[in-house]
Amino acid sequence: MVLEHPAPVTESPLQLRELPKPEPAERQIRVAVRCCGVCHTDLHTVEGELKLPKLPLVPGHQVVGIVETCGAAAHKFRDGDRVGVPWLFRTDGTCRYCLTGQENLCNRAEFTGLNADGGYADYMVVDEDFAYSLPFTFDDAHAAPLLCAGVIGYRSFRLSGAGKGDRLGLYGFGASAHIVLQFARHQGCEVYVFSRGEAHRQMALSLGAIWAGDANDHPGQKLDAAIIFAPAGGLVPVALKASRKGATVALAGITMSPIPQFDYELLYEERVLRSVANSTRQDVKEFLELAAEVPVQTEVTEFALEDANRALQKLKNSEINGAGVLRVAP
């Protein structure tokens, strides 16, 4: 499914096209795609809310597939291995960020489904060092959301500083939040969920949330940490107001509507407001191990590859419980 020009998803901008099978470079592998998760970042890409360095473009960055062939110098995987490909596609490996464990901030980083064609297709290629073996605990469809929704949720959780016994607030309850809730409970947190959708609130309670309500409802307790998943800047002062002194509010999205002006007292008393940008390869490895240990149960709704526009439309309208996944191959 190819994006020739960005447009609102209501106009179904993705078109089914026949493309040449990509050939792997020396240290790359070619992946026969089985499933690809549908992410809000794909939505922002398709609608042109992100700067697009490449057009036409095949979106998709929660890719599960089988290694079909390896480049001449690629030895990490064998043909037939199952791998996952996440958002981070490549870094330069030499800058100060890469050399200090912050490769997610690399100025020359490239991203799957943005700088390079992604998983809304039968095949894709990727550097072998940016692909990952997947736990057998998860089948293809249920593994796909782990590769972005799960990994970004994990990084957001870590940067929020939430720990055992803490009250963690999740604002917005989609693919990422429903995964975070599960491993946060596994880590000993009490989880409070803020969502407009009644179906989402009920799902949160069924997964073990202590409380679920609207963003403007008071949960009865001050939060020790919060993560905002919804791309709504208006939630920032709301989350700060609900948080205790010294708490951290982490912003998990790649984009967000403008944050309104708010009184300094909401940030005072050493509250911290921080963004979360991308993820590192170490994040992916750590999270996949944790997801298998819990084990995380991903809720998925499958769509055929040619229904990618419809999947994105439903995602935009909050009509998917859990995560949407494109089924590319059996």
Structure tokens at 4: 């020739």
How far is the C-alpha of 146 from the C-alpha of 183, rounded, in Å? Answer: 12
Q: What is the pLDDT of residue 37?
A: 98
Is omega for the bond preceding 145 within 30 degrees of 0, making it cis?
no
- Residue 144's CATH number: 3.90.180.10
Last residue of a domain, one of 231, 251, 275: 275
Last residue of a domain, one of 257, 275, 293: 275
Query: Residues 212-230: pLDDT tens digits?
Result: 999 999 999 999 999 999 9
Query: Residues 287-309: pLDDT tens digits?
Result: 999 999 999 999 999 999 999 99
Q: Within this chain, do residues 237 and 178 fall inside the same structural domain, yes or no?
A: yes
Query: Residues 107-128: pLDDT tens digits?
Result: 999 999 999 999 999 999 999 9
Q: What is the pLDDT of residue 10?
A: 97
Q: What is the pLDDT of residue 206?
A: 96
Q: Within this chain, do residues 287 and 203 fall inside the same structural domain, yes or no?
A: no
How far is the C-alpha of 297 from the C-alpha of 142, rounded, in Å? Answer: 8
Structure tokens at 86: 């996440």
Query: Residues 45-100: pLDDT tens digits?
Result: 999 999 999 999 999 999 999 999 999 999 999 999 999 999 999 999 999 999 99
Amino acid identity, position 146 = L
Question: Do 117 and 124 form a contact (C-beta atoms < 8 A)?
Answer: yes
Q: Within this chain, do residues 156 and 85 fall inside the same structural domain, yes or no?
A: no
> What is this structure's pTM?
0.94
Q: Within this chain, do residues 89 and 216 fall inside the same structural domain, yes or no?
A: no
Q: What is the pLDDT of residue 254?
A: 93
How far is the C-alpha of 89 from the C-alpha of 278, rounded, in Å? Answer: 11
**Rounded mean pLDDT of the chain?**
97
Q: Within this chain, do residues 215 and 286 fall inside the same structural domain, yes or no?
A: no
CA torsion, ordered 255, 302, 78, 58, to nearest 10 deg: -50
- Residue 190's CATH number: 3.40.50.720
Q: Within this chain, do residues 25 and 88 fall inside the same structural domain, yes or no?
A: yes
Q: What is the pLDDT of residue 191?
A: 98
Q: Within this chain, do residues 282 and 265 fall inside the same structural domain, yes or no?
A: no
Percent share of the chain, pLDDT over 90: 99
Q: Within this chain, do residues 140 and 166 fall inside the same structural domain, yes or no?
A: no
Q: What is the pLDDT of residue 308?
A: 98
| 87: containing domain | 2-148+278-327
How far is the C-alpha of 232 from the C-alpha of 174, rounded, in Å? Answer: 14
Q: What is the CA radius of gyration of the chain?
A: 19
**CA nearest to 236, candidates 199, 196, 194:** 194
Q: What is the pLDDT of residue 107?
A: 96
Last residue of a domain, one of 254, 275, 296: 275
Q: Within this chain, do residues 104 and 209 fall inside the same structural domain, yes or no?
A: no
Q: Within this chain, do residues 175 and 27 fall inside the same structural domain, yes or no?
A: no
Q: Within this chain, do residues 174 and 34 fall inside the same structural domain, yes or no?
A: no
How far is the C-alpha of 193 from the C-alpha of 249, rounded, in Å? Answer: 14
Q: How many domains are contained in the chain?
A: 2
Percent share of the chain, pLDDT over 70: 100
Q: What is the pLDDT of residue 277?
A: 96
Q: What is the pLDDT of residue 205?
A: 97
Contacts of 71 (CB under 8 A, 6+ apart): 24, 25, 26, 27, 28, 29, 128
Angle formed at CA 197 by CA 191 and CA 198, multiple of 5 degrees: 80
How far is the C-alpha of 171 from the C-alpha of 38, rounded, in Å? Answer: 20
Query: Residues 264-287: pLDDT tens digits?
Result: 999 999 999 999 999 999 999 999
Q: Within this chain, do residues 29 and 58 fall inside the same structural domain, yes or no?
A: yes
